């Protein structure tokens, strides 16, 4: 007998709960950057910041927590200096490489 599952009763997936190590964070960012969607980068940084503690990241960046949530939400386009400050607070560095 097949059990019917109501989709509305399933828990919502939250990537932040799965970003436990620096390696997890690096791989997640690598995949997001490879896809090349700038709004996804902002959202990914927001997920990582939530995983690490948004209040702590806000303190480290000098950006108010509410402004950080706004800048790092899906489909946002934060300024480069905001991205750089968040990356520094998260302990990650975005780098460029040549492609063939």
The reported pLDDT for the residue numbered 7 is 84
Q: How far is CA 98 from CA 17, 57, 95, in A?
A: 33, 31, 10
The reported pLDDT for the residue numbered 69 is 94
Helix (H, G, I), strand (E, B) or coil at 39: helix
- Write the burial class of residue 76 (CB in 10 Å: 0-12 exposed, 13-18 middle, 19+ buried): middle
Asked if 61 contacts 86 with a C-beta cutoff of 8 angstroms, the reply is yes
11 — pLDDT class (breaks 50, 70, 90): confident
The reported pLDDT for the residue numbered 4 is 86
Higher pLDDT, 38 or 28: 28
pTM, two decimals, is: 0.83
Q: What is the pLDDT of residues 68-86, one digit of tens each?
A: 999 999 889 999 999 999 9
Q: DSSP string spanning 42-92? A: HHHHHHHHHHH-HHHHHHHHT--HHHHHHHTSTT----HHHHHHHHHHHT-
Q: What is the pLDDT of residues 13-33, one digit of tens each?
A: 899 999 999 999 999 999 999
């Amino acid at each position: 007998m097949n059990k019917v599952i109501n989709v509305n009763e399933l828990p919502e997936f939250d990537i932040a709960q799965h970003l436990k190590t620096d390696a997890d964070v690096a791989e997640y960012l690598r995949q997001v950057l490879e896809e090349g969607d700038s709004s996804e980068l902002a959202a990914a940084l927001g997920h990582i910041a939530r995983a690490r503690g948004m209040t702590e990241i806000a303190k480290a960046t000098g950006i108010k927590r509410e402004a950080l949530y706004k800048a790092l939400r899906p489909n946002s386009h934060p300024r480069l200096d905001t991205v750089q400050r968040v990356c520094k607070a998260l302990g990650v560095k975005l780098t460029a490489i040549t492609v063939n």
